[in-house]
Amino acid sequence: MNIRETQEEREKEFLSEFATLSVNSKGRKVAEEKCPIRTDFQRDKDRIIYSKSFRRLKHKTQVFISPEGDHYRTRLTHTLEVSQIARTIARALRLNEDLTEAIALGHDLGHTPFGHIGEKILDELYPEGFKHNEQSLRVVDVLENLNLTWETRDGIVNHSGANMASTLEGQIVKFADRIAYVNHDIDDAERAGLITDKDLPEHCVNLLGTTSSRRISTMVGDIIKASEGENIISMSEDIYKAMWDLRQFMFDRVYLASHAKMEEVRAGSIIKWLYYYFMDNTLELPEEFRNMLLKMGNERVICDYIAGMTDRYAINKFEELFIPGAMRF
């Protein structure tokens, strides 16, 4: 047996009966020769890490647009935190850690510049609507053509919204995403002076913990306890409600109501101006996008182009197109 086959045999011996075994993958859209060293899910993980879309996550907003300070989360650091939480859960439940990590690393590849405001504006502008989870799948399938396994793709597209991933590994990532952003957004909001520990709902703090670390540990431990020996990933009712109440608190106090979010109006305007400009000037698109126009249509290609921008690139492109050179800072 080669190294990959040895690892596949170890999965059969060690992993839970509910785990997704690499050898049982439904495969890729385009069949490929197996790697002699890596399992299929390990190859997925590597392809995502080496993609251009993954590298761009470091300059995409998580919550705060162009924050002053080096310690605020970006879409990349969020992705790494989701991966760490998801892998911890998968390991404890003896599920496939490689598949879990591949899904976690790829789940936000389709996110727009400027966080959720970018997603909201593109959803309004693009006639067919825009959702970042669907765009993430489009990134790996079309724009980057990574030819990932069915299981990784299923987990990516179903990490948000009402749908549930077909694998337990994908279901883990959906929980890990929520655990990560609720807790690190609280941390960033406190750093920005928008809230303090005393503002957090008392019943949530009493149940989950007084620090981000304790809250994450509580939620992760609860998922492991509730899901052990089960063919579904779940949380206990009281912990789930406390997590959801914290999420609602963040929407009320930070995501939708804070002074920092006033920057979203400007960021949204940048997305709109760029969209309308390139609709009228498709020949100014980069060559790789111009080459897709006939096959995919102007609106689809322009949506792909803007969604792939980093915050910094979108701002620079806006200045280049609309701000006279002498007025740029």
**Worst-scoring range by mean pLDDT, 92-106, 188-202, 265-279?**
188-202
Give the SS3 label for residue 74.
strand
pLDDT by residue (tens digit) across 99-124?
A: 999 999 999 999 999 988 999 999 99
The domain that contains 164 carries what CATH number?
A: 1.10.3210.10
Give the per-residue pLDDT at 301: 98
Mean pLDDT of the chain: 93
Can you say whether the dihedral through the CA atoms of 60, 64, 65, 71 is positive or negative?
Answer: negative
In a domain, 22, yes or no: no
Please answer whether residues 4 and 36 qualify as being in contact, where contact means their C-beta atoms are separated by less than 8 angstroms. yes
Q: What is the mean pLDDT of residues 269-284?
A: 97
Give the per-residue pLDDT at 36: 98
**Cβ atoms within 10 Å, residue 153:** 24
Same domain (yes/no): 174, 233: yes
In a domain, 9, yes or no: no
pLDDT higher than 70, residue 73 = yes
Can you say whether the dihedral through the CA atoms of 147, 104, 92, 36 is positive or negative?
Answer: positive
Residue with tokens 């590298």: 55
pLDDT band at 62; cut points 50, 70, 90: confident
- Predicted model pTM: 0.95
In a domain, 25, yes or no: no
d(CA 256, CA 260): 9
Same domain (yes/no): 164, 268: no
User: Is the pLDDT higher at 12 or at 255?
Assistant: 12
In a domain, 208, yes or no: yes
Q: What is the mean pLDDT of residues 126-143?
A: 98
For 126, residues 6+ apart whose C-beta sits below 8 A from its C-beta are 299, 300, 303
Q: What is the mean pLDDT of residues 131-151?
A: 98
Same domain (yes/no): 212, 89: yes
Burial class (CB in 10 A: 0-12, 13-18, 19+), 23: middle
Q: How many domains does one find in the chain?
A: 2
Rounded to 5°, angle at Cα 237 from 232 and 241: 115
Task: From 217, 232, 258, give the residue that closes a domain.
Answer: 258
Ranges 214-223, 245-254, 320-329, most confident: 214-223
> In terms of residue numbers, what domain contains 88?
40-258
In a domain, 34, yes or no: no
Rounded to 5°, angle at Cα 206 from 202 and 207: 120
**Cβ atoms within 10 Å, residue 265:** 9
Q: What is the mean pLDDT of residues 278-295?
A: 97
pLDDT higher than 60, residue 328 = no
> Which bin fits 27, alpha (ψ -120 to 50), beta or left (φ > 0)?
left
The DSSP result for 107-172, as a single string, is: TTTTPPTTHHHHHHHHHHHSTT---HHHHHHHIIIIIS----BHHHHHHHHTSSSS---SSHHHHH
Same domain (yes/no): 165, 274: no
